Amino acid sequence: MIIGSSVRHYEKVSSTNTVASALLREATPPEGTVITASFQESGRGQGGNRWESEPGSNLLMSVILYPVMVKPAEQFVLSRMISLAVHDLVSLFTPDASIKWPNDIYVRDDKIAGILIENSIMGEILGSTAAGIGLNVNQTVFKSNVPNPISLATVTGTCHDLADISGKLVKLIDRWYDVVIRGETATLEKEYHRVLYRSGKWHLYRDKDGRFEGMIERVMPDGILVVRKKTGKTAEYAFKEIDYIL
Ligand code: BTN
């Protein structure tokens, strides 16, 4: 197993991704090093948002990778593989998990986990990756203005052992990272699309031109979302260029 070759747990950090970046700056930690924390003082989310997590309640993890086999233009493959691992973990507890593009994990219409992947690109290759995962496990009340948080405890009606959840996730990331190492991109793409939230059905969205009904067709290898409109034409979106109307 590559993932979990070294595990470092902290009671309190600024952010596990920041710890991962600092380790990468200072030395070359073993590939698969897992950093977990009980609490983050400055948990970071996508787009500069904060990640809320009450002390000791949730899974806060970053994994260090050296994905030299992935070209920078194909780095979305890492988003796919981490989201599939987290999706599979959540699916151990509920049949209603899906991946909301680009890499949120949903249960029905609520967000249970977020992923923050930070890559360092060295010329033509990805030098290193800090893959951060925040999974709501035992928190049941959320203060921040995220519209739709949910946790495993709320979904299942019971508390969960964080060490057990963490161990399961490490194994699943290892399994999906092996698919990346073997270059089986088609497997990753097929599975990602199979579990993609709202895929192939008409739903409401908003883009720069306003509200519209659209159908998600696919997510391209570079991570661009392709949505069919009622006119029959398709539109392509980068992250933050389209809102899902829930
Ligand atoms: C999102 O906005 O959806 C991404 C959230 C990612 C949160 C995780 S928690 C562990 C790691 N450390 C951080 O500061 N962020 C990520």
Are residue 207 and residue 188 in the same domain, yes or no?
no
Are residue 132 and residue 227 in the same domain, yes or no?
no
In a domain, 69, yes or no: yes
Looking at residues 1-26, what average pLDDT do you find? 97
pLDDT at site 231: 92
How close is the Cα of 204 to the center of ligand 1, in Å?
A: 27
pLDDT in tens, 106-134: 999 999 999 999 999 988 999 999 999 99
For residues 134 and 155, what is the distance between their CA atoms, to the nearest angstrom? 16
In a domain, 2, yes or no: no
Are residue 108 and residue 185 in the same domain, yes or no?
yes
> Would you say the CB of residue 60 lies under 6 angstroms from ligand 1?
yes
Ligand 1 pocket test: which of 86, 133, 137, 166 has the largest number of ligand atoms within 8 Å of its C-beta? Answer: 133
Taking the model in full, what pTM does it have?
Answer: 0.98
Phi, psi of 174 (to 5 degrees): -60, -45
pLDDT at site 143: 87
Are residue 110 and residue 154 in the same domain, yes or no?
yes
> Would you say the CB of residue 102 lies under 6 angstroms from ligand 1?
no
Are residue 18 and residue 81 in the same domain, yes or no?
yes
In a domain, 26, yes or no: yes
Are residue 109 and residue 207 in the same domain, yes or no?
no
Looking at residues 40-65, what average pLDDT do you find? 96
> Would you say the CB of residue 51 lies under 6 angstroms from ligand 1?
yes
CB 75 within 8 A of CB 50: no
Are residue 105 and residue 127 in the same domain, yes or no?
yes
Ligand 1 pocket test: which of 116, 135, 151 has the largest number of ligand atoms within 8 Å of its C-beta? Answer: 116
Residue span of the structural domain in which 178 resides: 7-194
Looking at the chain, the whole-number percentage of residues with pLDDT higher than 70 is 100
Are residue 127 and residue 233 in the same domain, yes or no?
no
> Would you say the CB of residue 137 lies under 6 angstroms from ligand 1?
no
- The CATH number assigned to the domain holding 43 equals 3.30.930.10
Are residue 132 and residue 72 in the same domain, yes or no?
yes
For residues 232 and 222, what is the distance between their CA atoms, to the nearest angstrom? 23
> Would you say the CB of residue 57 lies under 6 angstroms from ligand 1?
no
Residue 239 three-state SS: coil
Are residue 152 and residue 239 in the same domain, yes or no?
no
In a domain, 82, yes or no: yes
In a domain, 80, yes or no: yes
In a domain, 1, yes or no: no
The minimum-distance atom of ligand 1 relative to the CA of 46 is 2
- The CATH number assigned to the domain holding 206 equals 2.30.30.100
In a domain, 225, yes or no: yes
Ligand 1 pocket test: which of 39, 60, 63 has the largest number of ligand atoms within 8 Å of its C-beta? Answer: 60
pLDDT in tens, 189-227: 999 999 999 999 999 999 999 999 999 999 999 999 999
Are residue 22 and residue 128 in the same domain, yes or no?
yes
pLDDT in tens, 59-116: 999 999 999 999 999 999 999 999 999 999 999 999 999 999 999 999 999 999 999 9
Are residue 59 and residue 173 in the same domain, yes or no?
yes
Question: Between vectors from CA 64 to CA 128 and to CA 80, what angle results, nearest 5°?
Answer: 80
The number of domains in the chain is: 2
Nearest CA to ligand 1 atom 15: 44
